[in-house]
Amino acid sequence: MNFKKHIIITTPPGSYWQPYDKLFIQIRNGITDQALKKSLTSDWTPAKNDRVYFFPGCTVPRFKVRAKYNTTIKPEYATAAFIAPGEIKATESMFDVMDGCYLVDGKIFGKWLSKVYGKNHYFAVKYHSLLLNCEDYIVMTGDAWDKTGYNCPIDAINDPEGMRDWHIGDRDNIKTTEDYLSFYSPVHNSDLTKLTCPIYLQDAIIKLLNEDNIVINEKKYEELRLMANSSDEENIILVMELMANANYKKSFVYLLLLLKEFREKISNRKKEINHVNFKSLLNFLDLDQRKLDSIDIEQLMTGMKKHKQFTRSNVQRVSQFFAAGQSPDKQTSHPDDGITDTKHFTTGPVLRPELEHLLDDYTEEEEILEPSQEDDTNL
């Protein structure tokens, strides 16, 4: 794994309600979940003698794996390893995980340190020295980030009233994202040092496991809709089981539409939604089970483009799901009454003509106009 040295800025344990406590600085070798996702691939071609290893947190059904592939619990024996970046868990033999962090521009944060401590203060000097040998972006815990916005550390020498004005621009601009991230750091003598094989996203093996599973086509989709709309609560459980055991790739857009339409019923089935098979489905589609009730058309399009399912037929299916005549207006009474994805759609929703070339099944030949009958007669 591509671990790199990062500066970590933290606060003392339990210091949230003690805003004047000091900030702590340390160096840790590790990787953010954002960087990890970018470094992995979902394309895996299994070989006859492969031995498969799973990182903690993987939601791949093991009984399905063992029916098709050899597995191992020893990292040093693995020839292919699989990981679920959104659910990596801390273990004594592998990872320390820091959740609820921000990635911050190290150079701009250095200006803040120079302001509150002075350029010659030991903390500021130490920070700038360490930054020379680390990533330009630093990892800051949520509590430490809050501290920089309200109260200076107790050992600061300037601006004792707090740091609401940094004099270097908008404070929020130095974060790379508004969302929390996680930082994964290998523990001392980690088993990761014994792992020499390629590492893949767990999607790579999930899609192979599901190759022979049921395909949800338009007819099956309508049947599942009828079941899910019935008054029998047991039917939604059966629908979820069928969805979780479908061929994800060939059923892709219909799975998205079922999750969109029945998100409330599905979200209420806590036991079934946490089953390993259904969690595998959600992970494959990059959907957070805690946010199923807010799926919008933008998320559908993002998933389609990521999985190379942004085809003309799939776009038409999604367009049909959202009733004709809707306008790109967020100020509506119901989440489905407005199309917020104005980047890809116009009123309808209809795919913008200038984006036709982004379709996964687009060919330049489609732009060639056929000669008219009138032209033929003049030849």
For residue 105, count other CB atoms closer than 10 A to its CB: 15
Q: Mean per-residue pLDDT for 230-254?
A: 88
Tokens of 84: 């679920």
pLDDT at residue 80, as a whole number: 93
Are 212 and 270 within 8 A, CB to CB?
no
Please tell me the total number of residues recorded for the chain in this structure. 379
Share of the chain above pLDDT 70, in %: 74
Are 137 and 103 within 8 A, CB to CB?
yes
Angle formed at CA 331 by CA 325 and CA 332, multiple of 5 degrees: 55
Q: Of residues 366 and 26, which shows the higher confidence score?
A: 26
- Sign of the dihedral defined by the CA atoms of residues 307, 311, 317, 322, in that order: positive
Calculate the alpha carbon distances from 285 to 54, 202, 289, 347 in Å. Answer: 19, 12, 11, 26
Task: Report pLDDT digits (tens) over 209-236.
Answer: 887 788 898 899 999 999 999 888 889 9
Q: Distance (Å, rounded) from C-alpha 349 to C-alpha 325? A: 8
Task: Report pLDDT digits (tens) over 171-222.
Answer: 556 666 667 888 988 888 788 878 888 889 888 888 888 877 888 988 999 9
Domain ranges of the chain: 1-209, 211-295
Assign 304 a pLDDT band (cuts: 50, 70, 90).
Answer: confident
The pTM assigned to this predicted structure is 0.60
For residue 49, pLDDT over 60 is answered with yes
For residue 280, pLDDT over 50 is answered with yes
